[in-house]
Amino acid sequence: MTINLLNTFLLFAILIIITINLSYFCSKDANRYSVIQDERFSIFNLTRSISNWTHTSSSPLIPPYVPFRSTFVTSPKYSLAACRIQKNLSTILLNLFCFLNTPRKFSKTGNSLTVEFRNHISVETCNKTHANHIAMNTTFTTKLAIIRDPVERFLSGFVDKCIHEAEKKDYRCYGCNKDMVCVLKEQYERFKLIAEGRLLSFSYEDRHFAPMSWFCDFDSETIKNYRFLFFGETEEKQSQTIRELMNIFSVHGVDNGTISHIFQELSANRTKHSTSGSAIREKIGKEMRSDPEAMRLLHLIYENDYRIFKLQSPFIQS
């Protein structure tokens, strides 16, 4: 059997799997499953990307730019948009843009910029939160995305989801019972399947641990349309990020009183999901860095994020 014939057979098999998955998951809750009305997820585009990947990629690294679940917040009044990447201030971005669009209603209902979004105001009332194709939309002068060190992002998510949340929900993190290597092995296999187009339903954990380059409709061209803010792990670096964000708001015409209020609240509080600076975060981080298998799997999952966003990789390069 020639290589071309084998690839044709493989692609045909994948098409059958995709069709079965689509027929099943399209009937499920749209908020839980990732199948959406988006041409990036059409059979044509999925199979084209799968075909290209199977022909060109022999690397064990999880590839970048895989079409994934992307949500955005927008403020047409200020010509601003932002992509929300889980574990990268996504709750704060949702609240911030809601406040920019409906400041009186937001404040009247007692919402905080750093507390989980309440149901007093619907997402639809706040803004066009689930607007699509922001990466190519010329309506917004600035398109923001917040990035952070990929391993630190995973560590933050692991402590929050696999330790704190798992205390009350033992099914979190695939029932791995706080075993980081167990979680990483599961995620690596799942991410390979997603990248190959063989898994179309995304788990709660997938959404929090997926590579950053999978969000925001990023590809090698659209990524150039974003302005990135780096969220560091120290209080000093985080304060710098907040100041940079306030400067962007100022340039876009947000009034000084609003900026002052936002700056004070963000500087004084953190979200309940934040693990930065905690004792458990420090302990788990030390254990992670001393575990060769954990670091090997982190390298396989996140090395391309370090390359895409030009961040210094902690992994030894061969």
Helix axes 292-308, 150-157, angle to 10 degrees: 130
Domain 71-308 is found in CATH 3.40.630: no
Which residues, in sequence order, are bridge partners of residue 83? 72, 145
Pick out the chain residues at pLDDT < 70.
1-57, 107-111, 115-132, 269-277, 317-318
∠ CA 80-84-87, rounded to 5°: 140
Interacting residues of 8 by C-beta distance below 8 A, sequence separation 6+: none
Distance CA 41, CA 35 (A): 7
Contact predicate 272/116, CB 8 Å? yes
Q: What is the pLDDT of residue 44?
A: 42
Predicted pLDDT at 69? 81
User: What is the pTM for the complete model shown?
Assistant: 0.77
Residue with tokens 């002052």: 260
How buried is residue 261: exposed, middle or buried, by Cβ count under 10 Å (0-12/13-18/19+)? middle
Sequence spans of domains, the chain: 3-56, 71-308
**What is the pLDDT, as a whole number, of residue 5?**
54
